[in-house]
Homo-oligomer: A and B are copies of this chain.
Amino acid sequence: MTLSGPFALEASNLGKSGRTRARLMDAAVDVFAREGFQAASVNEIARLADVANGTFYVHFRDKDAIAAEVAYGITREIARQIDEAMSQIDGAAERFSFATRQFIELATTQPMWGWVLIRSAWIVPELNHRVETYLSSDLKRGVKQGIFNREIDPFIVDAISSMILSALAARLRGDAGEEAGSRVSELALCMLGFPVSEAKALAWSAITLQDFSTNVLPRAPKP
């Protein structure tokens, strides 16, 4: 009855067990996004996934376990798509800017994934970790390329990722429009020592963001 979400689609070629598991993960994304991790209840996840509550425990040890899996799945998928989309881009600044903008638009297309990233960031440290790992690698590349003149350490990566999440939140709340990605990207480039005019040019350059809504990440249908 409930149409499938991203994980279920991805698992459509797996066995029944795999598909049930995927349905649970999609349901968990939904509930986490709406209620936050703490307030989410296993029963509600199971109900949304259209399985008995006991079935949850066939697939996951507990709520923490599914949260970790979901976090892993979301970040892996998002990273994969962004990586793929910018495989041709070489400049660190361009890569960073593109990735930031793409990330925000991607998470806006899948609002539940976006909310999970935001709401669970402080609770499932795994999430932050992975996001920052991806971020870190491009920033360090920029230093090597002599483009960024700041030392890249966890502190600054943290600061930038916080800013990006705050931009994403504004976008999801509807307080910011499509410009959110460019704005936060510009700000971050400034922070990294980029001259303002260049930062602006880069962050607002007309790039074609990949449209995932009809492609890899189908829009999750509302029940």
Query: How far apart are the CA atoms of A193 and B197 in the complex, in Å?
Result: 10
The residues in A between 154 and 175 inclusive whose CB is less than 8 angstroms from any CB of B are 154-156, 158-159, 161-163, 165-167, 169-170, 175
Task: For A85, list chain B residues within 8 Å (CB).
Answer: none
The number of chain A residues touching the other chain, given as a range, is: 20 to 34
Query: How far apart are the CA atoms of A180 and B180 in the complex, in Å?
Result: 27
- Which of B118, B123, B166 has a CB less than 8 Å from the CB of A159? B166
Nearest chain B CB to A196 CB, angstrom units? 6
Count of identical protomers in the assembly: 4
**A36 interfacial contact with B, CB 8 Å:** yes
- A122-B118, A159-B166, A159-B187 are known contacts. Are A175 and B154 too (CB-CB below 8 A)? yes
- A162-B162, A163-B162 are known contacts. Are A187 and B156 too (CB-CB below 8 A)? yes
Residue ranges of A at the interface with B (Cβ–Cβ < 8 Å): 36, 38-39, 118-119, 122-123, 154-156, 158-159, 161-163, 165-167, 169-170, 175-176, 180, 183-184, 187-188, 190-191, 193, 196
User: Could you give 27 example pairs across A and B, Cβ below 8 Å?
Assistant: A36-B38, A38-B39, A118-B122, A119-B122, A154-B170, A154-B175, A155-B167, A155-B170, A155-B176, A155-B183, A156-B183, A158-B167, A158-B169, A158-B170, A159-B163, A159-B166, A159-B167, A159-B184, A161-B166, A162-B163, A162-B165, A162-B166, A163-B163, A187-B191, A188-B191, A190-B191, A191-B191
